[in-house]
Structure 1
Amino acid sequence: MIRFGIDFGGTKIEAAALNAAGEFVARVRKPNPGNYQDALEVVAQLVTDAETMAGATCARLGVGLPGSVSPKSGLIRGANSVYLNDKRFGEDLAKRLARPVRVTNDANCLALSEAADGAGSGERVVFAAILGTGCGGGVVVDGQIIEGRNGFAGEWGHFPLPWPKPEEYPGPDCWCGRKGCLETWISGPSFSRDAGFPNGQATMEAVAAGQPNAVAALDRYVDRVGRALAVICDVIDPDVIVLGGGMSNVDALYERLPAAIAPHVFSDVFETPVKKATHGDSSGVRGAVWLWPSEA
C-alpha cells in the first residue's frame, strides 16, 4: 500500500509517497507561497504531482505543520507561519482534495518517523526537538504520538528559557507576544544573531576558524539547549532525545549536550543519549505519512 504525506514548512512544502517498506516512491517540493489560499493550492498540486510520480492514488493524506490543532475549535494555533492560525486547515484541505486529511504538529511527525525506524527505533519514550527556523518538540510513547488532552503536548518552543542568567532576562520579544521564549534563544536564526553572522553556515564556518565571537556563541547555545532539554527530561525522562532542523547538523551538539543537560536534571544519574535524526529533513514528511496506519 502506498501512503502520502505533506511536510508544511516555513519556506517549502513537500509531498511524498512511501511504499509498505517505508521507501520513497515519490518526493516533490515547492516554495511556500506565504499565504493561506495559495498554500492550499500548492498542497493540492503537490499531491497531484506525487500521485503521478508514484503511479498511485492518494486515498488519505497526513500533514505535519507548525502549531497544533485546538481540540475545542478545530482551528490551527501557535503556528509561526502565522497565516495558518485561526484557520481550519485540515478541514479546508480535505474539502479541496475530497479525501480524508489528518493534521498534527511537524515535531510530532519528526518524533513518529524517528521512533518508527530512525534514531529512536526500539525505544519506548522518544522526545524529538526541531531546532530550525523555529523551535518545536514532539513526544512518542510506544510508537504513538502523545498530543495530550488539550492537543499541545511537547510544545516546548514557547517555554521561557530555564534558569536565566541576568543578561538573559527578560529576553527578546517573541512573535507569540511573550518575551524570552526558547524559540528566541535556540532557533537557528537566534544562534546566528547571537554570533553576529547572517546564517548558520557562516556562523559554523567561523566556529571552525576559531573566531572568538562565534565560538563563544556556540558555547552559549549548547548551555541554553542543555538547560531547555533538562526540563523535558525532568518531566518525561525520555529514552532518547532526537534532534532535527538545521541546527541538528551541528555535530558538536551530540558530544556536548549530555554534559550540558546533566547538571540541571533532578537526578543523580543522566544517561539519555542525544542523537541526530536518522532521516534528516525527510523525517517530517515520513512522519506525516505514518499518521495513517496501513490498515486505515
Structure 2
Amino acid sequence: MNLWGIDLGGTKIECAVLDDQQNLKVIIRERVPTEADQGYEHIINQIKKLVDIVSEKLGEKPSKIGFATPGVLDPDTQTMKNCNTVCMNGKPMKTDLVTALGCKVELANDANCFALAEALMGAVQQVNPDAQVVFGVIMGTGVGGGLVVNGKAIYGKHGIGGEWGHNIIEENGESCYCGKSGCVEKVIAGPALEKFYLKLTGNPLKLKEILERHLAGTDTAASETIERMLEYYGRGISTLINVMDPDVIVIGGGVGNIDLLYTEGYERIKKYIFNNRIVQTPIVKPLLGDSAGVFGAALL
C-alpha cells in the first residue's frame, strides 16, 4: 500500500507518496503554493488541487492521507489551534479535508511529523534503530518539539504533546505570544538570541554573524549571547531528559545547525540532569532536511 503525506507549510504545500513495500521508497513528490493570504477555503482548495495532480500522475486515488500541520487539532473541539498560519485557527480542518478529499485523514503537528520521520527513516536509524522513545526538537525562528514512542507520534490529552518551547525557563523574561513570559522560545530561538545581542550593542546582526564573532573571540557581546544560548539550552534539554529520558534526541531547525550545541551545549546538560551529572543520551542532527515533514506525514 502506498503511503500519502502532505506537509502544509506557510508558503508551499507538498505531497509525497512512499512505497510501503519497497523500504519507503519515494514514488512521487509535488508542490503547489499555499497562498494563505487568500484565506482558509483557498488553502483547502489548493490541497485538493495538489491531491488531484498527484492522483492523475499515479493513476490512483488515496484511501487515507497524513498531514503535517503548523498547529494542532484540539481533541475536544476538533478545530485547529496554535497555527502560525492564523486563518486555520478555529477551523474544523480534519472534517473539511475529509469532505474535500473523500478519504480518511490524519493530522499531526509538523514537529511530531519531523520526529516520526527522523525516528523511522532518518538519524535515529543510524544511532539506535531500536530506540523506543525519540524526542524531536525544533530550534529555529521558534522552538517546538515532537514525541515518538514505539514508532507512533504522541499527541497527548490536549493535543500539545512535545510543546517544550512554551515552558517558562527565565523568570521575568520576554513576553511570549502564548501569554506567558520567559518561554524557552523567547530565550533560545534565533530571533530571541538576535534580540538579546541587539539590546547589548544596538547593532542588529543575524545569529550566524554573532556566532562567527564569538568563535573569533572578537566580540564580548557575541560571546555573552552564545553563552546565554548554551546555558539555557542545557537547562531546557535537561528537563526533557528528566521527564521522558528518551533514547535519542534529534535537533532540527536553523539554530540546531550550531555545532557548539553538541559539544559545549551537551556539557551544560550535565549541570541540570537528575542523574549524578551523567548524560548518555545521543543528541544528533537530522538527516532528512526539509523532507522530514512530508515523510512524517506519510508515516502517520
- The two structures have a TM-score, normalised by structure 1, of 0.87
User: Within 5 Å, which residues of 2 pair with 1:83-122?
Assistant: 83-121=87-125, 122=129
Give RMSD over aligned pairs: 2.2
Structure 2: distance between partners of 1:230 and 1:108: 20
291, 295, 299: which one pairs with 1:286? 295
Partner of 2:17: 17
Structure 2: distance between partners of 1:141 and 1:176: 27
2:17 aligned partner, one-letter code: A
User: Within 5 Å, which residues of 2 pair with 1:1-296?
Assistant: 1-20=1-20, 21-34=23-36, 35-121=39-125, 122=129, 123-161=131-169, 164=170, 169-196=171-198, 197=204, 199-207=206-214, 210-212=217-219, 213-268=221-276, 269-291=278-300
Q: Does the CA contact (< 8 Å) of 1:222 and 1:256 recur in 2?
A: yes
Instruction: Report the alpha carbon displacement of residue 151 of structure 1 after superposing the two structures with TM.
Output: 2.5
1:189–1:54 Cα change, 3 Å: farther
Instruction: Report the alpha carbon displacement of residue 193 of structure 1 after superposing the two structures with TM.
Output: 2.9
2:193 aligned partner, one-letter code: F
Instruction: Report the alpha carbon displacement of residue 191 of structure 1 after superposing the two structures with TM.
Output: 2.8
Q: Does the CA contact (< 8 Å) of 1:80 and 1:134 recur in 2?
A: no
1:226–1:55 Cα change, 3 Å: farther
Q: Does the CA contact (< 8 Å) of 1:80 and 1:175 recur in 2?
A: no
Deviations 1:64-91 (A, max 9, x none): 1132222111111222333222111111
Instruction: Report the alpha carbon displacement of residue 211 of structure 1 after superposing the two structures with TM.
Output: 4.8
Partner SS state of residue 120, structure 1: helix
Partner SS state of residue 15, structure 1: strand
Structure 2: distance between partners of 1:52 and 1:207: 53
Structure 2: distance between partners of 1:45 and 1:186: 38
Q: Does the CA contact (< 8 Å) of 1:44 and 1:97 recur in 2?
A: yes
1:99–1:149 Cα change, 3 Å: same
Q: Does the CA contact (< 8 Å) of 1:14 and 1:30 recur in 2?
A: yes
Instruction: Report the alpha carbon displacement of residue 273 of structure 1 after superposing the two structures with TM.
Output: 1.5
Unaligned runs of 5+ in 1: 292-296
2:107 aligned partner, one-letter code: V
1:23–1:208 Cα change, 3 Å: farther
Instruction: Report the alpha carbon displacement of residue 143 of structure 1 after superposing the two structures with TM.
Output: 1.1
Structure 2: distance between partners of 1:136 and 1:155: 5
Structure 2: distance between partners of 1:84 and 1:275: 32
Higher deviation after alignment, 130-139 or 37-46: 37-46
1:145–1:209 Cα change, 3 Å: same
- The two structures have a TM-score, normalised by structure 2, of 0.86
Instruction: Report the alpha carbon displacement of residue 55 of structure 1 after superposing the two structures with TM.
Output: 4.9
Unaligned runs of 5+ in 2: 199-203
Q: Which has the larger radius of gyration?
A: 2
Partner SS state of residue 157, structure 1: helix
1:226 aligned partner, one-letter code: G
Q: Does the CA contact (< 8 Å) of 1:147 and 1:153 recur in 2?
A: yes
Partner SS state of residue 62, structure 1: strand
Instruction: Report the alpha carbon displacement of residue 63 of structure 1 after superposing the two structures with TM.
Output: 0.6
Structure 1: distance between partners of 2:160 and 2:140: 19
Count of aligned positions: 285
Instruction: Report the alpha carbon displacement of residue 289 of structure 1 after superposing the two structures with TM.
Output: 0.2
Deviations 1:216-252 (A, max 9, x none): 3222112222211111111111111111122222233
